[in-house]
Amino acid sequence: MLSTSARLLRLVSLLAVRPAWTCGELAERMEVTERTVRRDVARLRELGYAVDSDPGPWGGYRLRPGTRTPPLILDDEEALAVAVGLREAALSGALGGDQAALSALLKLRQVLPKRLGDRLGDMDAAFVQTPRAGEPQVAAGMLLELAAACRRGERARMAYRDWEGRASVRDVDPYRLVHTGRRWYFVARDVGRGEWRTFRADRVERVQPTGRPVEFTEPLPDPALLVSRASATGPYAVLATVRLPVPMEQALRSIPATVGLHRADGPDATVVEVGGSSTEGLARYLFSLATPLRVLAPDSVREALLRRTRELLAANESAGT
pLDDT in tens, 42-78: 988 888 788 888 876 666 888 876 645 556 667 777 7
First to last CA, the chain: 97
- Whole-number pLDDT of residue 174: 93
Q: What is the DSSP string of 286-313?
A: HHHT-S--EEEE-HHHHHHHHHHHHHHH
Mean of pLDDT values over 127-142: 60
Mean of pLDDT values over 105-130: 68
- Whole-number pLDDT of residue 1: 46
Cα three-residue angle 118-174-126, rounded to 5 degrees: 25
Residue 134 has pLDDT above 60, yes or no: no
- Whole-number pLDDT of residue 90: 67
Question: CA 211, CA 209: separation in Å to the nearest integer?
Answer: 6
Q: Does this model's pTM top 0.85?
A: no
Question: CA 167, CA 174: separation in Å to the nearest integer?
Answer: 19
- Looking at residue 214, its amino acid is V
Give the distance from CA 9 to its chain's centroid: 32
Question: CA 296, CA 273: separation in Å to the nearest integer?
Answer: 10
Residue 152 has pLDDT above 50, yes or no: yes
Which of helix, strand or coil describes residue 3?
A: coil
Mean of pLDDT values over 201-214: 91
Question: CA 114, CA 233: separation in Å to the nearest integer?
Answer: 45
**Percent of the chain beyond pLDDT 90?**
27
Q: What is the DSSP string of 271-282?
A: EEEEEESSHHHH
- Looking at residue 82, its amino acid is V
Neighbouring CB atoms inside 10 A of 259's CB total 17
Res. 6 pLDDT band, cuts 50 70 90:
confident
Pick 135 or 294 by higher pLDDT. 294
pLDDT per residue over 286-303, tens digit each?
999 888 999 999 999 999
